[in-house]
Chain A
Amino acid sequence: MTGTPNFNTKTFQGLILALQHFWSEQGCVILQPYDMEVGAGTFHWATTLRALGSESWNAAYVQPSRRPTDGRFGENPNRLQHYYQFQVIMKPSPPDLQDLYLGSLAAIGLDASNHDIRFVEDDWESPTLGAWGLGWEVWCDGMEVSQFTYFQQVGGYDCNPVSGELTYGLERLAMYVQGVDHFQQLAWNEPGNARSKSYADVYLAAEQQFSAYNFDHANTDMLFRHFSDAEAECAALVAVALPLPAYDQCIKASHLFNLLDARGVISVTERAAYIGRVRELAKACATAYLTAKGELLSNESPKGVSSGGAA
């Protein structure tokens, strides 16, 4: 092993590099972001689909995530419609996962002899993915710095073996490490020189424009149309046993739903129905994925799905 590089974790990119380096050292595949619009790092195929099936899988990656309803035109100190998550998945979950995680905090400068680190109950459920797990939110000095989840079910299928999933909210973590109280003030790279850039320099304009797009300008007729298209395409691809392209379409449908939700054109009752439609897609993809891997028992079907599901 070569010597540990000395990253400046008091910059946004240094924080990411330190986490990538740490998890690379643990044998994880360091992936790049999924090139689709997703609401959280969990939606990356490297987590959802790879959490299914029996083979071992260890990966880490940054995932740009979009939550249209969280847009605040860049004004709220810690709420953004586009933000970054750092995601780690380890399957099967190793017995020392908590210790590994604490090691990663030390690697970004939060050592456990001077910081109060706590695991506080917080279970995770994604109705759109037909997935759930148990775990904690991890507190450092009273601040939630990560989500820690043992996946129990994805796409309606029991996870066996169980994956351990870690999600770091990077902006919030960086604000804490840098000691600033607004995301705009975050140092993206080395501060104090001619090439220095803040988070605002890189993303403020995008936050402003996308908030306006999400709330006021997104063409809802088109979005509804695209939702139906993605739904149909997903089902068609599942039918020809192409679970990976089908999953792209499922993720598209999920994001289109989020945009429609932000535009306020989906009523409370319809909301549950749309989430149900995306969930059926996710379950169909899970079924096709396991089938393609030859890991599906002939009599097995995802839980909570009627036999005449979306596929």
Chain B
Amino acid sequence: MTDLLLELFGEEIPARMQTRAGDDLKRLVCAGLKEAELPFEGAAAFVTPRRLILHITGLPLAQPDVREERRGPRVDAPDKAIEGFLRGNGLTRAQCEERDMPKGKFLFAVIERQGRPTGEVLAEILPAAFANLPWPKSMRWGSGTTRWVRPLHSILALLDGAVVPLTFAGIDSGNQTRGHRFHAPEAFAVTDFDGYRDSLLAAKVRIDPADRRRRIADGAAQLAQDAGLTLVADDGLVAEIAGLVEWPVPMLGAFDRRFLDVPAEVLVTTMKVNQKYLSLRDGAGNLAPNFITVANLEAEDGGGQIIAGNEYVLTARLADAEFFWTQDQKKTLESRLPALDQVVFHAELGSLGAKVTRLEKLAAALAKDVPGANGELARRAAHLCKADLVSDMVYEFPEVQGVMGRYYALNDGETAEVADAILQHYSPAGPSDACPTAPTVVCIALADKLDTLVGFWAIDEKPTGSRDPFALRRAALGVIRILLENGLRLQLEKAFATARSGYAVAGDQKKEAQGLLDFFADRLKVHLRQQGMRHDLVQAIFALGGEDDLVRLMARVTALDGFLVSADGANLLVAYRRAANILRIEEKKDAMRHDGAVETALLRQDEEAALAEALSRAVEKIDAALAAEDFAVAMAAMAGLRQPVDNFFDAVTVNSDDAAQRRNRLRLLSQIRATLHKVADFSEIEG
């Protein structure tokens, strides 16, 4: 048993690509080993900005020897057959064995292949794995033709302490690596993984990203604590920083308190996005005038120049933000509206200014369906909700769209309700994001998403496969969540039509609306599946057509679900399928449908008559219950059908010799189907 140690050392790999690259290297090499029949005990990938590392343990010293026997033709077979067998196995007649078998004497080819040494196999597997590593973007350098993420400098490949000889990108493998770029740049030799890891640790390189993340998080928390502050947790940022350093050294810096007048969201955003700094809070929970930067160095002077430099840079950034904040407040949101006419929403769908005009009408129209909403407030919020996009601050920091709109609205003297609606109208931004509940917010959050969806459907720009550049799936999910979580009754088709009337684009609006409703059905099914609910029942209701009120749809789904788990429901579903099957077969045979009225005079058996009567009673009850949206009563009415239906199937032969009677009985079955279809399309129910 032996170990493989592999390191690809080069120039800085973008942080966002590192984890994936380590996983891919491991996957490709392991697949190569498997294919070469080389088992192993463990495989671990590590990655730093400058190296991809793979450690594979428990490898055999060589592939297993292979002995294979192939039976050929009989010795007295025609020459052609024997020649073919020999050629196929690359053997001469003399190299074959002859064996007595029950059916005569046969030729046998015995092929013995000795397993090759693992190192030799690796020398082929590894370069192939490197060449197949799928970087999101790759490049050439110097005079070379190999593509890699950035220039590669050396390859360390050791098996059992010995170099696995290979060449990739014009680089021959060896047993050397280098330490930290500034602390320990000299090359040194290693023999095994433990020695490699320890030598690099001494050379100021932590190879394990998890280790670096922990050092950053713990070190930052300690610095915060020592200063009487708390760290604003941000795992994503810590992971990104861990991809920028080999030797993380967190340092605490400060900025002028005057910048705290700028909204905290802006300060946190610029520190994070532009500088990769962690933010801090004071004892009262307010943003502190401090930051934590993570250097890649233990400076000779203790870090004084590094902190001073970072403070200088941050001051310039915050001065920009402060300038934008002051400047932006000099203009009202209202006065920014004309500038939105110059911003493209989509080349075929016009400007953001045009979108705002549509949103005003749509939000006001939706307000009629949102309990507690005021049409004028909704219109006002829609009027202003995009204006911050042309402010200097949002131009510079797109992440604070909406946030700035709220501040600027309050500064302009708009009501808190309007300001909050501007802030929250983009939400929910994802499955875990909070859903708006305030009536005004609900109006424009719905309007914004519906306008986008209807517009993109009008120009036939829909998501395909993994491509959804305009985040239309997220928009539809947003609408679904807002409606369901607020129990909001809205006829989607009517809302689509209102939204569509704002666009001048030509098109078959009925078809678009149906397509969009189908898209909503799909998104709803995905949403329910993620919540562990039955999505086939959604289809069973949608398939009836005409149901575009998601709240009512969910009430029907829930009632149906409850019914189907009851004994009556499960039983009736079986009977439904039996009726539907017979009908399908007989209607095909007769080339006609049997959905005419049942003739009472032809009901000869008691069970027929009882079923007919039960059906007509049930239809009446179900119709009344559906009209009253009392779905539990509708289910109870269906449950009442179980006994008569069962009795019918037990006692009555549908395919009677009397043609008129047969037709009448088929009509009864058709009635069963039609009655149940008032509640749901039972043919869509799975299981």
Are A and B interaction partners? yes
**Residues of chain A with a CB closer than 8 A to B49's CB:** 119
Q: In the bound complex, how far is the Cα of B297 from the Cα of A117, in angstroms?
A: 9
A143 with B12: CB separation less than 8 A: no
A142 with B140: CB separation less than 8 A: no
Decide if A131 is an interface residue (CB 8 Å cutoff): no
B296 with A113: CB separation less than 8 A: no
The answer to whether residues A114 and B305 also contact, given A134-B137, A161-B142, A181-B315 and a CB cut-off of 8 A, is yes
B293 with A142: CB separation less than 8 A: yes
Which residues of B, 130-169, contact A by the 8 Å Cβ criterion? 137-144, 149-151, 153
Decide if A93 is an interface residue (CB 8 Å cutoff): yes
**Residues of chain B with a CB closer than 8 A to A136's CB:** 12
**Residues of chain A with a CB closer than 8 A to B347's CB:** 269
B312 with A113: CB separation less than 8 A: no
Decide if B660 is an interface residue (CB 8 Å cutoff): no
Decide if B244 is an interface residue (CB 8 Å cutoff): yes
Q: In the bound complex, how far is the Cα of B246 from the Cα of A119, in angstroms?
A: 12
A142 with B299: CB separation less than 8 A: no
B142 with A93: CB separation less than 8 A: yes
**Residues of chain B with a CB closer than 8 A to A112's CB:** 181-182, 297
Q: In the bound complex, how far is the Cα of B49 from the Cα of A117, in angstroms?
A: 13
Which residues of A, 143-192, contact B by the 8 Å Cβ criterion? 143, 150, 152, 160-162, 164, 176, 179, 181
Q: In the bound complex, how far is the Cα of B181 from the Cα of A134, in angstroms?
A: 21
Instruction: Name the one of A77, A115, A120, A133 contacting B244, with C-beta atoms under 8 angstroms.
Output: A120
Instruction: Name the one of A93, A135, A160, A176 contacting B312, with C-beta atoms under 8 angstroms.
Output: A176
Decide if B314 is an interface residue (CB 8 Å cutoff): yes
In whole Å, how far is B416's beta carbon from the nearest beta carbon of chain A?
Answer: 34
Instruction: Name the one of A92, A113, A176 contacting B143, with C-beta atoms under 8 angstroms.
Output: A92
Interface string of B285-314 (1 = CB under 8 A from A): 000000001011101110001101110111
Q: In the bound complex, how far is the Cα of B182 from the Cα of A119, in angstroms?
A: 13
Q: In the bound complex, how far is the Cα of B310 from the Cα of A117, in angstroms?
A: 12
Residue of chain B at shortest CB distance from A122: B14
The answer to whether residues A140 and B309 also contact, given A95-B151, A134-B150 and a CB cut-off of 8 A, is yes
Q: In the bound complex, how far is the Cα of B143 from the Cα of A121, in angstroms?
A: 22
Which residues of A, 103-121, contact B by the 8 Å Cβ criterion? 112-121
Decide if A25 is an interface residue (CB 8 Å cutoff): no
Decide if B587 is an interface residue (CB 8 Å cutoff): no
**Residues of chain A with a CB closer than 8 A to B293's CB:** 116, 142
**Residues of chain A with a CB closer than 8 A to B429's CB:** none
**Residues of chain A with a CB closer than 8 A to B308's CB:** 141
A95 with B314: CB separation less than 8 A: no
**Residues of chain A with a CB closer than 8 A to B137's CB:** 123, 134
B139 with A161: CB separation less than 8 A: no
Overall SS of chain B's interface? loop
In whole Å, how far is B145's beta carbon from the nearest beta carbon of chain A?
Answer: 8
Instruction: Name the one of B142, B244, B295 contacting A95, with C-beta atoms under 8 angstroms.
Output: B142
A161 with B309: CB separation less than 8 A: no
Q: In the bound complex, how far is the Cα of B556 from the Cα of A184, in angstroms?
A: 71
Residue of chain B at shortest CB distance from A134: B139
**Residues of chain A with a CB closer than 8 A to B244's CB:** 118, 120
The answer to whether residues A93 and B344 also contact, given A114-B306, A119-B11, A136-B12 and a CB cut-off of 8 A, is no
Q: In the bound complex, how far is the Cα of B49 from the Cα of A121, in angstroms?
A: 11
Instruction: Name the one of A77, A113, A135, A269 contacting B182, with C-beta atoms under 8 angstroms.
Output: A113
The answer to whether residues A133 and B139 also contact, given A98-B11, A116-B295, A121-B14 and a CB cut-off of 8 A, is yes
A115 with B309: CB separation less than 8 A: yes
The answer to whether residues A141 and B310 also contact, given A134-B137, A162-B141 and a CB cut-off of 8 A, is yes
Residue of chain A at shortest CB distance from B153: A95
The answer to whether residues A116 and B306 also contact, given A121-B16, A179-B312 and a CB cut-off of 8 A, is yes
In whole Å, how far is A108's beta carbon from the nearest beta carbon of chain B?
Answer: 14
The residue among B138, B293, B316, B347 with the most chain A CB atoms within 10 A of its own CB is B316
Q: In the bound complex, how far is the Cα of B301 from the Cα of A143, in angstroms?
A: 19
B313 with A141: CB separation less than 8 A: yes
Decide if B75 is an interface residue (CB 8 Å cutoff): no
Decide if A268 is an interface residue (CB 8 Å cutoff): yes
**Residues of chain B with a CB closer than 8 A to A94's CB:** 142
The answer to whether residues A150 and B143 also contact, given A113-B182, A181-B319 and a CB cut-off of 8 A, is no
A150 with B151: CB separation less than 8 A: yes
Q: In the bound complex, how far is the Cα of B10 from the Cα of A150, in angstroms?
A: 14
B319 with A116: CB separation less than 8 A: no
A162 with B306: CB separation less than 8 A: no
Decide if B275 is an interface residue (CB 8 Å cutoff): yes
Q: In the bound complex, how far is the Cα of B299 from the Cα of A197, in angstroms?
A: 35
Which residues of B, 26-47, contact A by the 8 Å Cβ criterion? none
A141 with B344: CB separation less than 8 A: no
In whole Å, how far is A65's beta carbon from the nearest beta carbon of chain B?
Answer: 20
Which residues of B, 313-336, contact A by the 8 Å Cβ criterion? 313-316, 319
Decide if B603 is an interface residue (CB 8 Å cutoff): no
Q: In the bound complex, how far is the Cα of B170 from the Cα of A92, in angstroms?
A: 15
**Residues of chain B with a CB closer than 8 A to A69's CB:** none
**Residues of chain B with a CB closer than 8 A to A164's CB:** 141
**Residues of chain A with a CB closer than 8 A to B277's CB:** 142
Q: In the bound complex, how far is the Cα of B310 from the Cα of A176, in angstroms?
A: 10
Q: In the bound complex, how far is the Cα of B182 from the Cα of A133, in angstroms?
A: 26
**Residues of chain B with a CB closer than 8 A to A143's CB:** 309, 312-313
In whole Å, how far is B393's beta carbon from the nearest beta carbon of chain A?
Answer: 15
Decide if A13 is an interface residue (CB 8 Å cutoff): no
Which residues of B, 225-248, contact A by the 8 Å Cβ criterion? 244-245
Decide if A301 is an interface residue (CB 8 Å cutoff): no
Residue of chain B at shortest CB distance from A149: B139
B182 with A161: CB separation less than 8 A: no
**Residues of chain A with a CB closer than 8 A to B139's CB:** 133-134, 150, 152, 162
The residue among A93, A112, A116, A268 with the most chain B CB atoms within 10 A of its own CB is A116
**Residues of chain A with a CB closer than 8 A to B580's CB:** none
In whole Å, how far is A121's beta carbon from the nearest beta carbon of chain B?
Answer: 3
Instruction: Name the one of A114, A141, A268 contacting B301, with C-beta atoms under 8 angstroms.
Output: A114
Decide if A8 is an interface residue (CB 8 Å cutoff): no
Decide if B15 is an interface residue (CB 8 Å cutoff): yes
**Residues of chain B with a CB closer than 8 A to A220's CB:** none
A116 with B312: CB separation less than 8 A: no
Decide if A291 is an interface residue (CB 8 Å cutoff): no
Q: In the bound complex, how far is the Cα of B181 from the Cα of A116, in angstroms?
A: 11
**Residues of chain B with a CB closer than 8 A to A120's CB:** 12, 15, 244
In whole Å, how far is B520's beta carbon from the nearest beta carbon of chain A?
Answer: 32
A118 with B143: CB separation less than 8 A: no
A152 with B11: CB separation less than 8 A: no
Decide if A198 is an interface residue (CB 8 Å cutoff): no
Instruction: Name the one of A113, A135, A162, A269 contacting B140, with C-beta atoms under 8 angstroms.
Output: A162
**Residues of chain B with a CB closer than 8 A to A114's CB:** 299-301, 305-306
A78 with B141: CB separation less than 8 A: no
A77 with B12: CB separation less than 8 A: no
**Residues of chain A with a CB closer than 8 A to B315's CB:** 181
Q: In the bound complex, how far is the Cα of B524 from the Cα of A147, in angstroms?
A: 47
**Residues of chain A with a CB closer than 8 A to B296's CB:** 116-118
In whole Å, how far is B153's beta carbon from the nearest beta carbon of chain A?
Answer: 7
Residue of chain A at shortest CB distance from B138: A134
In whole Å, how far is A111's beta carbon from the nearest beta carbon of chain B?
Answer: 9
Instruction: Name the one of A113, A152, A161, A181 contacting B300, with C-beta atoms under 8 angstroms.
Output: A113
In whole Å, how far is B16's beta carbon from the nearest beta carbon of chain A?
Answer: 7
11 inter-chain pairs at a CB distance below 8 angstroms, sorted by A residue, are A93-B141, A93-B151, A116-B293, A116-B295, A119-B12, A134-B137, A141-B308, A150-B141, A150-B150, A160-B140, A162-B142
A sample of 11 more A-B contacts (CB under 8 A), given A135-B150, A150-B141, is A93-B141, A115-B306, A115-B309, A116-B295, A116-B310, A120-B12, A120-B15, A121-B15, A150-B139, A152-B139, A268-B342
Closest 9 CB pairs of A and B: A141-B309, A121-B14, A119-B12, A116-B295, A142-B310, A161-B143, A143-B313, A134-B139, A92-B142
